[in-house]
Amino acid sequence: MQQRNVRFALLFCLSVLLLAGCQPGQFVLPPPPVAAAPTPAVTVQEAKIQSAMEAAPPVIAESATVVDWPAAPGAEQAILRAGSDEWVCMPDWPATPANDPMCLDPTWSAWMQAFMTGAEPEVTTLGVAYMLAGGAAASNTDPAATEPADGEEWVVPPPHVMLLMPGGFDAAVYGTDYTSGKPWILWDETPYEFLIVPVVPVAEAAGPIAVTDSVETKIRNIEAAAPAVIADNAMLMDWPTEAGGEMTPLRAGTNEWLCVPDWPATPPDDPMCFDPAWTAWMGAFMTGAEPEIDTLGVSYMLAGGAMASSSDPFATQPADGEDWVVPPSHVMLIMPGGFDAAVFGTDDTSGKPWIVWDETPFEFLIVPVQ
């Protein structure tokens, strides 16, 4: 260090010798650097707001009202930041060991108020909530548990979406196994039951791909569509090579899910995985028949997707002057009776859950998770 300073001084002296009269042996050093201003400490309130914003896609988290957890049972929730829309976000709950901020739509906000006061919630429409940082529950069966039972551990799901639905969920369809990696029911057969939909894909997107790509490439492409236990064990099928043609098998499966690779007819990468309700829906859609939907259906497009129109199910190219509709990583939902546009809207640019092909037999809900 000393030698480097000496060299610097000599060079500096030589450069100004004629102008400043610097003589050999007189070292003229530059002034010391000005210290940078210290970074202001993040306040507790700011830290909680930052925590809450980890729960949902930015367009939701940035405009949501952020409220704190009650300081004591029955206490009011302090408003940490006023919002500009109907979503409410909450920071990590200190009572659990995991990081578990959440963002709630109005249906979920009403549910949360009922839950926190011990009242029975009234669920009249589909509700969507986000916990994209993950979560934790003391029990898979008891909503009132504050600590795991002796010999048990915390239930810690990965990043996920939570769904409420009038009438609840059928355990014969979804199950209650929180270790399955698939959508599952928490607190089944209680007034507070809801569905957890994990949203961590197996791999990064590896497309788009070509019709002529190998089976191995197409299977690798599918891995970006859904969580591991689904994509790794689903039946994999390839798209028909011509209109009206048959789908061809890529790999046999060991669960009830069906996955397909990137659809070459669209410009971006869009592999997808369907549960049985969605598989039946897709069969009807591909033949032009009206689907029969008797339960909530969940499908994954965690690599993103594309469609020619958000209003016309059978458009194959965007209308003149329009572009492809390209939603980011998302989950797709179908349910009996469809969806209420007054609740979710149809704006494909909103970044929030929105209805595709509204008021047609093929309408479904896109829930962005990026």
In this structure, what token pair is assigned to residue 124? 């009249």
**Which tokens belong to 109?**
């906000």
CA–CA distance from 185 to each of 11, 43, 143, 175, 258 (Å)? 73, 37, 12, 6, 21
CB 301 within 8 A of CB 332: yes
Alpha helix ranges (H) inside the chain = 2-15, 17-20, 44-52, 58-61, 106-117, 171-174, 215-222, 228-231, 276-287, 341-344
CB 20 within 8 A of CB 29: no
**pLDDT confidence of residue 73:** 75
Phi, psi of 368 (to 5 degrees): -60, 145
136: closest CA among 188, 189, 81, 94?
94
Q: List, in order, residues 6 or more apart from 325 with CB less than 8 Å away.
A: 306, 307, 308, 309, 310, 318, 348
- Distance from C-alpha of 95 to C-alpha of 79, rounded to nearest angstrom: 19
Domain residue ranges in the chain? 56-198, 215-368
**Considering the entire predicted model, what is its pTM?**
0.86
Helix, strand, or coil (residue 66): strand
pLDDT tens per residue across all 370 residues of the chain: 333 333 333 233 323 222 333 333 332 334 444 545 555 667 999 999 999 999 999 999 999 999 999 888 778 899 999 999 999 999 999 889 999 999 999 999 999 999 999 999 999 999 999 999 999 999 999 999 999 999 999 999 999 999 999 999 999 999 999 999 999 999 999 999 999 999 998 888 878 898 889 999 999 999 999 999 999 999 999 998 777 778 899 999 999 999 999 998 899 999 999 999 999 999 999 889 999 999 999 999 999 999 999 999 999 999 999 999 999 999 999 999 999 999 999 999 999 999 999 999 999 999 999 8
